[in-house]
């Protein structure tokens, strides 16, 4: 059985872009409209010589605001239940938002290893976001760009002991 890695984070941080890059096929819908991924999707991912199952989770901002927190919690718990590790993605350019902090609080309750990814950090973009991300308490974030394929070697190094 390949390891299962879940991608978690608020809408529009680049989860589906990362999923597509790791799977290599356009299986997950990517759109400029936040939260267009409606379901969890599984794909066969490759990163160097690592092979694993990757789970992309949906955006939830279309949900009724009153039930949003509950749905976020349910989906996050569902996604991490079967996962060997979680890729927690934030947008390094936006820094840590209240929604990111909410996800962080949910993820803090699990024993599943969490790898923090500060996405949209191509070039030198998002450097201040990296410092903020460190403050979430999941260790040093990995600066990456799912869109431009940067930071994948560091992601490989983080996944190697898990897979
Ligand atoms: P999701 O809602 O978390 O699944 O995010 P998406 O993968 O749908 O991406 C949301 C938006 O961010 C899209 O416009 C992407 O093109 C853009 N995006 C994703 N990754 C990157 C990145 O590494 N750098 C930049 N600049 N934009 C990105
Ligand atoms: Mg998506």
Q: What is the mean pLDDT of the chain?
A: 85
Tokens representing 138 are 């999941």
Is the minimum distance from the CB of 120 to ligand 1 under 6 angstroms? yes
29 CA → ligand 2 middle, Å: 7
In this structure, which ligand is nearest to the CA of 34?
A: 1
Is the minimum distance from the CB of 32 to ligand 1 under 6 angstroms? yes
Q: What's residue 11's pLDDT?
A: 87
Q: What's residue 36's pLDDT?
A: 46
Q: Where are the alpha helices (DSSP H) in 7-163?
A: 15-23, 65-81, 98-107, 127-134, 152-159
10 CA → ligand 2 middle, Å: 9
Burial class (CB in 10 A: 0-12, 13-18, 19+), 13: buried
Residues 6+ apart with CB under 8 A from 77: 106
Confidence class for position 27, pLDDT limits 50, 70, 90: low
Strands across the sheet containing 142-143? 41-47, 50-56, 4-8, 85-91, 114-119, 142-143
Q: Is the ipTM of this complex over 0.90?
A: yes
Q: What's residue 66's pLDDT?
A: 56
What is the pTM assigned to this prediction? 0.89
Based on C-alpha coordinates, what's the Rg of the chain? 14
Query: For atom 26 of ligand 1, which residue has the closest CA?
Result: 120
Q: What's residue 97's pLDDT?
A: 95
| Cα distances (angstroms) measured from residue 75 to each of 26, 40, 152 | 23, 9, 26
Could you give all domains of the chain from N- to C-terminal order, each with its CATH number?
4-159 (3.40.50.300)
Q: What is the pLDDT of residues 33-88, one digit of tens each?
A: 554 444 567 888 999 999 999 988 865 544 455 566 777 777 778 888 889 999 99
Closest CA to 13 of 64, 48, 57: 57
């Amino acid at each position: 059985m390949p390891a299962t890695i879940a991608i978690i984070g608020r809408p529009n941080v680049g989860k589906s872009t990362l999923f597509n890059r790791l799977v290599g096929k356009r299986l997950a819908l990517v759109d400029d409209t936040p939260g267009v991924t409606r379901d969890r999707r599984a794909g066969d991912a490759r990163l160097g010589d690592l092979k694993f199952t990757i789970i992309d989770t949906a955006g939830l901002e279309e949900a009724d605001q009153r039930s949003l927190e509950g749905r976020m919690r349910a989906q996050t718990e569902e996604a991490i239940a079967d996962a060997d590790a979680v890729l927690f993605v934030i947008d390094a350019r936006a820094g840590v938002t209240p929604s990111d902090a909410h996800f962080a609080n949910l993820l803090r309750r699990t024993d599943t290893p969490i790898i923090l990814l500060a996405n949209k950090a191509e070039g030198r973009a998002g450097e201040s976001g990296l410092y903020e991300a460190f403050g979430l308490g999941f260790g040093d974030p990995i600066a990456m760009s799912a869109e431009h394929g940067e930071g994948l070697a560091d992601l490989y190094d983080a996944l190697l002991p898990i897979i």
